[in-house]
Amino acid sequence: MTSNTPIYPHGNVEEIAEDIFMLRGSIKMNPLLRISRNMGIIRNGDELSLINPVRVSAKVEAQIAKIGRVKHIVRLGCFHGVDDPYYVEKFGAQMWAQLGGTTYTIPKIDKELDSVVPLPFDNAEIFEFAGTIQPECALLIKRGTGILFTCDAIQNYGDYSYNNIAAKILMPFIGFPRTTIIGPIWLKYQTPEDETLDPEFRRLLGLKFDRLLAAHGTLLKTGAHAAVERAVEKVFEKKE
């Protein structure tokens, strides 16, 4: 079955705002490296939407069941999707994703994810990156000071927990320091030759948010907009 994927080390469900939860986990990238991976959970009534899904143990799956019914799977990035089939198959959840991705083609997309589609929760909008090689988007929850959910495009590392020892040692040397960053590997594979994604990140900075939960790293509880702006300036600074 397509849902027969490994379960890697992870934590418990944590509430980070009213009806908004997260789970910190990990994924093995190769025989050497295991890196962090995060899932967001948004509750609307008794329905749950899983953002950047991560497969979990039976114990933690029971924790999820206590807060609501898994109804929607939301894929924000083209390089994430390994655990989507599990949740779609087990819970009969609807699959939300942008069209045109070629890295994960299952499960089939039930709801096209774009900037105008009504989402399964209130006070939210999708930001679509234009000009990337594969589709990528971000999710803005417009409650309180704003929470931005991203996949690989923007990441934040307050620490290296859920990385294995090898990854903890290597992360600063391969472009993943303990700060907010534009994902360097993502940027390499998503930028067309002789082009730049600078305007897209400048456009994203037009959004209002103070918190950031990326698919990798740690939750940035405050100051996220300024942190993302610094990351954009560092990557796209004008060369003399």
Residue 164, C-beta contacts closer than 8 angstroms, at least 6 positions apart: 26, 33, 34
Could you tell me the two tokens for 67? 């807060």
CA–CA separation, 70 and 46 (whole Å)? 9
pLDDT higher than threshold 70 for residue 240: no
Contact 12, 116 (CB under 8 A): no
* Count of CB atoms situated within 10 Å of the CB of 125: 14
Give the CATH number, domain containing residue 223.
3.60.15.10
Mean per-residue pLDDT for 87-95? 97
Q: For residue 115, what pLDDT band results from cuts at 50, 70 and 90?
A: very high
The whole-chain average pLDDT of the chain stands at 95
* pLDDT 10s digits, 21-69: 999 999 999 999 999 999 999 999 999 999 999 999 999 999 999 999 9
Residue 200, token pair as written in the block: 């897209």
Contact 55, 128 (CB under 8 A): no
For residue 226, being part of any structural domain is answered with yes
Residue 143 in any domain: the answer is yes
Domain that holds residue 187: 13-236
- Give the percent of the chain with pLDDT over 90: 96
For residue 184, say if its preceding peptide bond is cis, omega within 30 degrees of 0.
no
Q: Show the tokens assigned to 106.
A: 């299952």
Residue 1 lies in a domain: no
Residue 225 lies in a domain: yes
Which runs of consecutive H residues, i.e. helices, occur in 138-223? 165-170, 184-190, 198-204
Positive or negative torsion for Cα 47, 128, 3, 167: negative
Please tell me the distance from the alpha carbon of residue 118 to that of residue 126, in angstroms, as a whole number: 10
Q: Would 223 be classed as within a structural domain?
A: yes
Please determine, for residue 4, whether its predicted confidence score (pLDDT) is greater than 90: no
Q: Is residue 4 part of a domain?
A: no
Asked whether residue 135 carries a pLDDT value surpassing 60, the answer given is: yes
The total number of structural domains that make up the chain: 1
Q: Please report, for residues 46, 76, 211, the alpha-carbon distance to residue 56 in angstroms, rounded to integers and kept in the order given.
A: 20, 19, 24
* pLDDT tier for residue 238 given thresholds of 50, 70 and 90: low
193 inside domain: yes
128 vs 112: CA distance, rounded Å:
12
In angstroms, the CA 201 to CA 236 distance is 9
In this prediction, residues 68-82 reach a mean pLDDT of 97
Predicted confidence (pLDDT) per residue in 10-21, tens digit: 999 999 999 999
Residue 7 lies in a domain: no
3-state secondary structure of 156: strand
